[in-house]
Amino acid sequence: MNRRTKTAVFGAALLLTATAAAASAAASSGSGSGSPVQAREAAALTGKAKLYRSAGDDITFSFDAHLAAKDKADPMKATGTFEWSHYLNGEGARAKAKVDCLLTGGKVAVVSGVITSSDLPGAKGKRVGITVHDLGHRDRLGYSWASTGTPVEMKDLPKCVSSAPFEKVKKGTGDFSVTPWQPDL
């Protein structure tokens, strides 16, 4: 065999090996085996981080909010929880809410929920909303009580309502992740 023929045979063998490996990988992942491929969830907001405050406030938010693929058309079928705490000089409060709506667009999410537990008197049962802008390294966050002072002072907040994400995440304290909603329009 001359050099050109050997190169062609070697190239063909390499191509066949790569094709077989790709087919094997596809079959084991379920995409070529007749098994249904699991659809990604319709939207999500997850993660935990602290906010930056020059005065030294210790403010932490965490999210575990999801909209299942089967509920893609109704963001009010979102599930999960989110919680936060805000302390300064040993005083403050924490709260946890059950998700009742999740809307995402690109890397921005708005989640709302009703407070299920809190050590802030009068907060339990109040609906709150939070907005997150997932910027990768320095995410931003806003909350529905930004202009009222506390969730207790808000009146009848509708689902999926919040403020602009004006707060910054403190560098190195965590990260939020937004899965964009892609409704059929």
Residue identified by tokens 């919040």 is 162
| Whole-number Å distance between alpha carbons of 18 and 20 | 5
DSSP state letter for 120? S
pTM assigned to the model: 0.78
What's the first-to-final CA gap in the chain, in angstroms? 61
| Whole-number Å distance between alpha carbons of 22 and 18 | 6
pLDDT tens for the chain, residues 1 to 185: 544 444 333 343 333 333 333 334 344 444 444 555 566 899 999 999 999 999 999 999 999 999 999 999 999 999 999 999 999 999 999 999 999 999 999 999 999 999 999 999 999 999 999 999 999 888 999 999 998 888 998 888 999 999 999 999 999 999 999 999 988 88
The full length of the chain comes to: 185
Residue 109 belongs to what H/E stretch?
strand 108-118
